[in-house]
């Protein structure tokens, strides 16, 4: 290990914490919105909770997409669901990039170094620099997607966060 790489500064850890916390909120929001569009009036119904709670986020996106497609004829406000689902998948990929890989701080570059390795079919190792603004942008996009989902399913038009 390169002794020049040091512990991650608090501002990066705070940014990662915000990213993780808001992503957990996004996942719970998906649970609630799937229940709403599926017709569960009481979202504290234990049957609904049993059915959806342990499903992966990728499967939740698939479920919500399929229900939107099925309900599109009766609820035309769902028209843009494919774009919203694409955005939801994109923030999931970005979240996974930062949460499932290792970071160290490089004081020479004044940013973090993110290590990423994959062994699917072929070993691939990648190192890239991550600035604080990169984490902040992912967290902002998570909040944007949360509002996009809210607007889509509940047929409202709240403004999307810009900062």
In tens, the pLDDT along 49-98 reads: 888 889 999 999 999 999 999 999 999 999 999 999 999 999 999 999 99
> H helices within the chain, ranges in order?
10-38, 46-52, 57-71, 81-99, 132-154
Prediction pTM value: 0.90
| In the predicted structure, residue 43 carries a pLDDT above the cut 90 | no
Burial (CB count <10 Å: 0-12, 13-18, 19+), residue 133: exposed
Give the model's pLDDT for residue 41: 79
Give the model's pLDDT for residue 30: 95
CB 115 within 8 A of CB 125: yes
What gap in Å lies between CA 102 and CA 99, rounded to an integer?
Answer: 8
What gap in Å lies between CA 38 and CA 96, rounded to an integer?
Answer: 28
CB 95 within 8 A of CB 141: no
What gap in Å lies between CA 153 and CA 163, rounded to an integer?
Answer: 23
- Indicate the domain borders of the chain: 10-154
| In the predicted structure, residue 1 carries a pLDDT above the cut 60 | no
Tokens of 32: 């609630």
Cα angle vertex 144, ends 143, 148, to 5°?
120
- Phi, psi angles (nearest 5°) of residue 69: -60, -45
| In the predicted structure, residue 118 carries a pLDDT above the cut 80 | yes
| In the predicted structure, residue 42 carries a pLDDT above the cut 90 | no
Give the model's pLDDT for residue 14: 97
**Band of residue 26 on the pLDDT scale cut at 50, 70, 90:** very high
Q: Among 33, 48, 42, 56, which residue's Cα sits nearest to residue 155?
A: 33
What gap in Å lies between CA 101 and CA 82, rounded to an integer?
Answer: 29
| In the predicted structure, residue 24 carries a pLDDT above the cut 70 | yes
Give the model's pLDDT for residue 5: 67
């Amino acid at each position: 290990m390169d002794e020049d790489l040091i512990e991650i500064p608090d501002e990066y850890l705070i940014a990662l914490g915000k990213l993780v916390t808001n992503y957990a909120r996004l996942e719970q929001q998906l649970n609630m919105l799937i229940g709403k569009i599926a017709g569960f009036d009481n979202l504290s119904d234990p049957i609904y909770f049993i059915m959806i709670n342990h499903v992966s986020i990728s499967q939740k996106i698939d479920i919500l997409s399929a229900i939107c497609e099925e309900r599109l004829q009766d609820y035309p406000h769902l028209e843009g669901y494919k774009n919203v689902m694409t955005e939801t998948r994109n923030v999931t990929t970005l979240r996974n990039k930062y949460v499932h890989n290792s970071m160290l701080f490089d004081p020479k570059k004044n940013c973090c170094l993110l290590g990423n390795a994959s062994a699917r079919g072929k070993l691939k190792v990648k190192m890239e620099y991550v600035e604080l603004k990169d984490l902040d942008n992912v967290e902002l996009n998570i909040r944007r997607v949360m509002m996009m989902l809210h607007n889509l399913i509940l047929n409202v038009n709240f403004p999307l966060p810009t900062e």
